[in-house]
Amino acid sequence: MNYKNAWIYGEDFTFHKGGFTVANGIFTSMEEKDDAVDLHESYVIPGLIDIHFHGNSGFDFSTGGLEGLHRIASYLAEHGITSFAPASMTLPEETLKKAYEHAVQFRNRQPEGLARLMGINMEGPFFSHEKKGAQAEEHLILPDYDMFLRLNQAADGLIKVVCIAPELSGALEFIKKAKDICTVSLAHSTADYETAKKGFEAGATQVTHLFNAMPPFLHRAPGIVGAARDAEQVSVELICDGAHLHESVIRAAFAMFTAHRIILVSDSLSACGMPEGVYESGGQKIYMKNGAAVLEDGITFAGSTKDLFECMQMAVSFGIRPEDAIRAATINPARALGVQDRVGSISSGKQADFLICDKEFRLRECYIGGTLVS
């Protein structure tokens, strides 16, 4: 299929007027042809990639089974997220193993018209008790590399991100080994600047939901935030849902780290896309009220109720350049998963996952492998 007269988001992170061709689910040409579908100057951007979320539509990845994955992936496709890496929670090894096996089954089948499962984000159980957030405290353990290997085997190598608190006993040794298998991300931690710096020197290259579940960025105690800023190889996740971070902090983060190093994530829960009520995440009850999802204490955020496309739109509404917000929701997460050669940008040879948006960046159509999501 040939398309023309569009503003296409290029690999140089700017928009260019032109066209493109899709054949057999792949972008084959970036040339404009006369016999093409006229997109009437719509914006064409890569399909979004969410590397940190737990569920939607009433289903949680960790406990929702294969049926849950189908519904989750369907919702994502309907909302412009064409690739994803669901995040597991702090749960017993056997529970995680079952969830990962379901992920393998889904990946192998890859149902048509649904978002692509490109990996797993292992969020927990190697976290600090003090900064556990909505993670189940009774299942927190010290870093266990053998357990990680067993789970990655059950996942057929799908673990693409593993999260860890660097101050824990054995954490640095774990990072040094795990970095050769997947991205290692510092998370749910009490680490100070020096400890976080050691984690990055050991091989961690990412920070999970920057500013959340970690010490604050202070002028004499910069903590993980400051250490990440100084480590140029490190990327950072931002939850841009309007609740986890103030809009000024979003602008400050983009200024500190630049769009090259920021990964927008939703951290969405099973409550995403659902009415207010009581839901489940990682074996715990979560309460959705007034658009926020909290634990029973009514204070602790359990995650987000917005999807990644909404988060990208919100970043733009906060003053982030659309080109930068798109970059942070497409190629940057693709790199974190190690799949940037397949998805994350619009270029010849890559999978034809793309979105057609209006001039206000509202989603009009979503294509996965060149096929319109109905």
- Is 16 assigned to a binding site? no
Contacts of residue 153, defined as CB under 8 A and 6 or more positions apart, other chains included, come to none
Q: Are 121 and 151 in contact (CB under 8 A)?
A: no
Which residue out of 267, 307, 324, 353 is catalytically annotated? 267
- Is 188 assigned to a binding site? yes
- Only one residue has tokens 């990996």, namely 119
Phi, psi of 15 (to 5 degrees): -95, 140
Q: Are 209 and 201 in contact (CB under 8 A)?
A: no
Comparing CA positions, the residue from 154, 206, 143 lying closest to residue 177 is: 143
Instruction: Please confirm, yes or no, whether 358 is among the known catalytic residues.
Output: no
State the Cα–Cα distance between residues 262 and 211, nearest whole angstrom: 13
Phi, psi of 93 (to 5 degrees): -55, -40
State the Cα–Cα distance between residues 367 and 84, nearest whole angstrom: 15
Ramachandran area for residue 234 (φ above 0: left; ψ -120 to 50: alpha; else beta): beta
State the Cα–Cα distance between residues 161 and 183, nearest whole angstrom: 5
Q: Which residues are catalytic?
A: 267
**Annotated binding-site residue numbers:** 123, 188, 209
**Annotated binding-site residue numbers for Zn(2+):** 123, 188, 209
